[in-house]
Structure 1
Amino acid sequence: MSAAPLPAPPLRLRRLGIDTYQEPVLYMHLECPVCRSEGFEAQSRVEMTAGGRTIVATLNVVQGGFLGVAEAGVSEAAWRMLQAPEGSAVALRHPPPLESLGHVRAKIHGRKLTAPAVRAVIEDVAAGRYSELQLAAFVTACAGDRLDQEETIALTRAMVDVGERIAWGGGRVLDKHCVGGLPGNRTTMIVVPVVAACGLRMPKTSSRAITSPAGTADAMETVAPVELDVPAIQRVVERTGGCIAWGGAVRLSPADDVLIRVERPLDLDSQGQLVASVLSKKVAAGSTHVLIDVPVGPTAKVRSAQAAQVLARQLEVTAQALGLHLSVVQTDGTAPVGYGIGPALEAHDVLAVLRNEAAAPPDLADRALLLAGHLLELGGAAPAGGGRALAHQVLATGAAWRKFQDICEAQGGMRQPPVAPFRHAVAAQRSGSVLAIDNRRLARIAKLAGAPRAACAGLALHVRIGDFVERGEPLFTVHADSPGELAYALDYAAVQSGTVHVSEDA
């Protein structure tokens, strides 16, 4: 009688140093006995346990000598999530069936998502049970105007409920958000110190870029640390009255951070998900009074006053359902704000405004003062119609600059934004007046140059609508961290003659 086969030895954890962004990925050898016996295939979802932690990862199958048959290789994202020593024993199994995916399929086929269905999907998303493909299906199913008001409210509530919440006690807690689509619109880094300098609380948790060359967190990170946990945020706000932190570093609406991971490469930002994304993080951060900036322009995210009104109504109804006091202000979105587009370049603009430098971009200062004024009135620090004057005084006297420095020091120390080693100017091909500037094309050029991944990358705009330029004068300068990225961006710019539209004046 033949002996029973010996059990396969346990797999051992191996860190492969592969960057898969935020997606946990598992790597197994084609001849791995566990892989074969369990019937795991490439793109299978696998539940893995090591060192007492369990995650769900997407499987990639490898051949050759890259990985041993008794090794379970993991990407950097999976390594961070497991937090187990290399060489730890790894247990693998098929995850339980993903029941909530049925709700996603129903939505794809046109059925409305109920509140329990939304809750089930978001719980699974936050727990990391959805693969990138499944996340993409959910994002696409909700894209455009496919979420009605009830679905949007349900999505917002679910996003809040699956994460942490910060409690600030009594009193008003202020916040602001821009819906985006306007390069260089880095007003938050000016508004927060102005508001905090007036004795109000403004714990700002900001996002990184989704479809833009820079988010507030990206720009702020070039000046000070932004990856603060909840206790750190509370300490900074108690000390200074404000903060500018990355929301992804804390579990405030964690499902939103997962969805953003997929929205970025898809270049999708649906209205219902935008509303849920913005408001869920405001509620989770403990905000009571929120100002929403909606830039309107032909190449902004919101292209007409009518579309802005529809968005404002959806924001207001959802905010009311969640107990938020919300105000929406429409602003000019016809052209970029400031001179820089990209994390460090936008940070340089912010510092120039806060320091009251003569060369500071006046449009960035004006917009920041407008928004800060609204918030000061919302917070009760200024009477109706008197907020902007108070904000101007705080900026002009240097109080905002001193408060910004205090915030940076409290967050871990202030530093200077980096400067790109490779730069090239794009010149006007003819003399004439600047008639229009395409926000989307400029943003695209900045991203091709490496922003926001390379903090120093992007572009510096040298003209404004209405300016007269001579042939050969620079319209903008592309900044890059490598010659390859610089060339890539310039190649695109060369075929986009309408990015900065110059008239044919003699």
Structure 2
Amino acid sequence: MNDDHNRLRLLRAGIDTYQQPVVYMHRDCPVCRSEGFSALTRVLMRCGSRELVATLNVVTDDWLALDAAALSEAAWSALAPGSEAWATFEHPEPAASAPALRAKVFGQRLQEPDFLALMQDTLNNRLADIELAAFVTACAGERLDRAETIALTRAMVAVGQRLDWGAGPVLDKHCVGGLPGNRTTPIVVAIIAAAGYRIPKTSSRAITSPAGTADTMEVMAPVALDTASMRRVVEREGGCIVWGGAVRLSPADDVLIRVERPLDFDSDGQLVASVLSKKIAAGSSHVLIDLPVGPTAKVRSTAAAERLETLLRATAEAAGLSLGLMRTDGRQPVGYGIGPALEARDVLAVLRGTGDAPADLRERAVVLAAALLDLVPGTPSYPGRQRAEDLLRSGAALSKFLSICEAQGGFREPQAAPHVRSIAATRGGSILDIDNRRLAKIAKLAGAPASPSAGIDCRLRLGDRVRVGEPLFEVHAQTPGELEYALSYASTQTEVFRVGEEP
């Protein structure tokens, strides 16, 4: 054993701490004692040419030897030590961005160098999660103005990589979220790629919803492609639908999303910076943003939509992006399924043109694809709507989608959940309101998105009539326990569907 006081051998703890690097040491180990480390101390590790700042968790029993440090999966992946590796441990220097962080917490405006320092420290794990939570909170609401939003967007792009697809338009589409089942992206990508345009789509996994686009796509094809693999798919098929966390085009934003997840809030400025930084990094030139507006959607009012649209336009203009905005109905779910496999089923039904395909999902996808086609200058004389309809009706979009799936690693059919039960209406009348948030929560309690087949099948829409005892929706679950958990919550939520007579 080496005599250096601050060296320990490294072990793999096999503990998933999501994206947060954690190191485990025994409280009586010589490094803890000599360096004065305690629980939640930030620790700088050096192993060979690599270094990493991690959060310390202190072990009090004898499962960890005094001469060893165990690394969480995130820390092990980031440090990549070999077998029998050793590392040195010491206190890190204070984060360079600490003054900027404090300034923002106390309500001061930040400049682009401040945001760049913050994003560099975020990416290099120099800021603890509690500090990042303070930053996210200090930016929440409307505490990022237009100039700060532009600066934050540029900083996020600067600390990641940026793809270059060469000459010609590169299209993209994004939905700000908050609407269950609104899985238009795979359909839009298939239509746009079938029309001969490039659309390298990077998508997120669920943050607070029952499914993100990447979760739904992963039911049908691999999505965890690296940048080189993504490029090969796009060069071969014109489009892709991959998980943005694997290609890491705006990696600082991925860290902030990890912190925002348990807080369940963000700001307009952070939302704009998150969305547009990824579009810029992906090499997009023409971007369409879908903004569902409704009382239980993410954007809840016309005034809120107008504020967000103004910020999106200003930031896109500063970045040289050609931006289209489409305000859509966010009062109720889209499609029948809420959850990865159920949404994938709906996507395939629309692409295949089956008689039971959800008409609202099909219509919304066609409208969005048409608007994106019309956004590109020099397109053929006939309108985007006709082009989108023709590509969908002819089967060209389906063929392109299956080809993209094969290029990403192979297509597979969505699988149904083994446990299904209906929730019945307790009163009759017309569907007056649908609470998107509560409906999404039931789907999550059923196991979505961790269990891909879990979720909700909901076929009622505003204005539909229902009688007492008729099903409002079905709950799908992988296990009986998850099914009962979701049903127990659903039984107490009488306002998920407000049923009555029109005044």
- Correspondence 1:214 to 2:217: no
- The residue number in structure 1 matching 2:353 is 356
Q: TM-score, normalised by structure 1?
A: 0.96
After superposition, residues 106-121 of structure 1 pair within 5 angstroms as: 106-121=103-118
Distance 1:504 1:311 in 2: 35
- The residue number in structure 2 matching 1:74 is 71
After superposition, residues 308-457 of structure 1 pair within 5 angstroms as: 308-380=305-377, 382=379, 386-457=383-454
- After superposition, give the CA deviation of every residue in 1:51-101 in whole Å (9 maximum; x if it has no partner): 432111100001111211111011111111122134311211111111312
Identity percentage over the alignment?
Answer: 61
Gaps of 5+ in 2: none
- Correspondence 1:91 to 2:93: no
After superposition, residues 426-505 of structure 1 pair within 5 angstroms as: 426-503=423-500
- Correspondence 1:188 to 2:185: yes
Question: Aligned with 1:245: secondary structure?
Answer: strand
Question: Aligned with 1:222: secondary structure?
Answer: helix
Distance 1:459 1:366 in 2: 21
Question: Aligned with 1:21: secondary structure?
Answer: coil
Read off the aligned partner of 2:401 and give its amino acid letter: F
After superposition, residues 51-62 of structure 1 pair within 5 angstroms as: 51-62=48-59
- The residue number in structure 1 matching 2:39 is 42
Question: Aligned with 1:158: secondary structure?
Answer: helix
Distance 2:131 2:373 in 1: 43
- After superposition, give the CA deviation of every residue in 1:27-48 in whole Å (9 maximum; x if it has no partner): 0001100111000110001111
Q: CA deviation at 1:383?
A: 5.5
- After superposition, give the CA deviation of every residue in 1:149-172 in whole Å (9 maximum; x if it has no partner): 000000000000000010011110
Distance 1:385 1:113 in 2: 47
Q: CA deviation at 1:385?
A: 7.6
Distance 2:377 2:237 in 1: 19
Distance 1:384 1:281 in 2: 31
Moved over 6 A (4+): none
Q: TM-score, normalised by structure 2?
A: 0.97
After superposition, residues 5-44 of structure 1 pair within 5 angstroms as: 7-8=4-5, 10-44=7-41
- Whether contact under 8 Å (1:377, 1:384) holds in the other structure is no
- After superposition, give the CA deviation of every residue in 1:227-255 in whole Å (9 maximum; x if it has no partner): 11121111111111100011111131110
Read off the aligned partner of 1:196 and give its amino acid letter: A
- The residue number in structure 2 matching 1:131 is 128
- After superposition, give the CA deviation of every residue in 1:291-316 in whole Å (9 maximum; x if it has no partner): 00001111111111221111111000
Question: Aligned with 2:62: secondary structure?
Answer: helix
- The residue number in structure 1 matching 2:232 is 235
- The residue number in structure 2 matching 1:102 is 99
- The residue number in structure 2 matching 1:201 is 198
Distance 1:327 1:207 in 2: 21
Distance 1:79 1:221 in 2: 25
Gaps of 5+ in 1: none
- Whether contact under 8 Å (1:458, 1:479) holds in the other structure is yes
- Whether contact under 8 Å (1:15, 1:86) holds in the other structure is no
- Whether contact under 8 Å (2:332, 2:434) holds in the other structure is yes
Distance 2:381 2:360 in 1: 23
- Whether contact under 8 Å (1:432, 1:502) holds in the other structure is yes
- Whether contact under 8 Å (1:149, 1:318) holds in the other structure is yes
- The residue number in structure 1 matching 2:164 is 167
